């Protein structure tokens, strides 16, 4: 579980609910029950999901749950271990093709393992780089689509909140013709605005930050992939492990540089 995501959501809820509680303690009218409204919730969530189904292909919408699950997983932005793994494989590659073939199964990083398998299969450095870069390119496009869906949900939630508010205002104004309708103006306006409140909370506390986190994780993965592509190319070129280490150190912060 991504601890930063949990901390952010919890902090947002605590400060929002805490501020409401302080307002009530200072004499503000109403209570937390004024912020609970099932029809408003249904309009925001239902309308937003309906718009997502209209805007995106069904397979991608169905797979949105997997994208959210990936966001919840902690990001591993430490690339030092990748350098260690690449240098270990470079050392094995110096012993010969048969030893490299046996060493493929010991590689823990799938993308790197796939690249070294291409080297074992006899492909040259340029072909290995081209294939691996193509895989990174289309992975980024798939993740970009997931980012776009989360971003769209963040944009659509406030819009449907406004739709709910307009519905509430129409119903409230229609009630003016009824006996005592004018006396319910305050309560009716509060009920109308609660939908906009839901849309703003869902957009700014959940969907837009989650979209940004998805984009950040894509960038981190792409940086790691660039390092591994370079490593596979150097191994295909049969470079000495010391050269491999120094070149790969360029991809990571100086604090993580490997000197062994």
Measured in whole angstroms, the distance separating CA 51 from the mean position of its chain's CA atoms is 20
Measured in whole angstroms, the distance separating CA 123 from the mean position of its chain's CA atoms is 34
The 10s digit of each residue's pLDDT in 194-251 is 899 999 999 999 999 999 998 988 898 999 999 999 999 999 999 998 999 999 998 8
Question: Residue 46 pLDDT more than 60?
Answer: yes
- CA dist., res. 239 & res. 86, Å (int): 12
Q: Which two tokens stand for residue 84?
A: 């260690």
- pLDDT category of residue 182 using cuts at 50, 70 and 90: low
The 10s digit of each residue's pLDDT in 68-107 is 887 777 766 678 889 989 999 999 988 888 888 888 988 9
Q: Where are the alpha helices (DSSP H) in 97-207?
A: 97-103, 110-120, 125-174, 185-201
What is the reported pTM?
0.80
- Close Cβ partners of 44 (under 8 Å, ≥ 6 residues apart): 157, 160, 161, 164, 195, 198, 199, 202
User: With contact defined as beta carbons under 8 Å apart, do 37 and 194 qualify?
Assistant: yes
- pLDDT category of residue 63 using cuts at 50, 70 and 90: confident
User: With contact defined as beta carbons under 8 Å apart, do 214 and 150 qualify?
Assistant: yes
- pLDDT category of residue 259 using cuts at 50, 70 and 90: low
Q: What is the pLDDT of residue 54?
A: 93
Q: What is the pLDDT of residue 78?
A: 79
């Amino acid at each position: 579980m991504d601890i930063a995501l949990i901390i952010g959501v919890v902090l947002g809820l605590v400060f929002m609910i805490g501020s409401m509680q302080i307002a009530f303690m200072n004499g503000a009218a109403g209570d937390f029950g004024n912020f609970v409204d099932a029809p408003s919730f249904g309009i925001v969530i239902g309308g937003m999901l309906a718009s997502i189904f209209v805007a995106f292909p069904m397979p991608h919408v169905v797979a949105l749950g997997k994208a959210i699950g990936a966001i919840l997983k902690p990001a591993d932005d430490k690339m030092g271990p990748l350098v260690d793994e690449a240098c270990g494989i470079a050392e094995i590659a110096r012993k010969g093709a048969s030893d490299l073939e046996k060493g493929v199964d010991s590689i823990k990083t799938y993308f790197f393992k796939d690249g070294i398998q291409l080297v074992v299969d006899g492909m040259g450095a340029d072909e290995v780089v081209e294939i691996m870069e193509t895989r990174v390119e289309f992975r980024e496009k798939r993740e970009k689509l997931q980012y776009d869906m989360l971003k769209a949900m963040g944009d659509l939630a406030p819009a449907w909140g406004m739709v709910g508010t307009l519905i509430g205002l129409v119903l409230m104004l229609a009630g003016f013709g009824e006996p005592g309708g004018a006396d319910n103006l305050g309560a009716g306006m509060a009920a109308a605005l609660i939908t906009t409140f839901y849309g703003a909370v869902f957009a700014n506390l959940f969907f837009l930050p989650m979209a940004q986190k998805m984009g950040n994780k894509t960038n981190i993965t792409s940086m790691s992939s660039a390092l591994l592509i370079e490593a596979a190319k150097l191994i295909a070129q049969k470079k000495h492990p010391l050269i491999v280490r120094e070149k790969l150190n360029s991809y990571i912060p100086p604090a993580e540089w490997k000197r062994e």
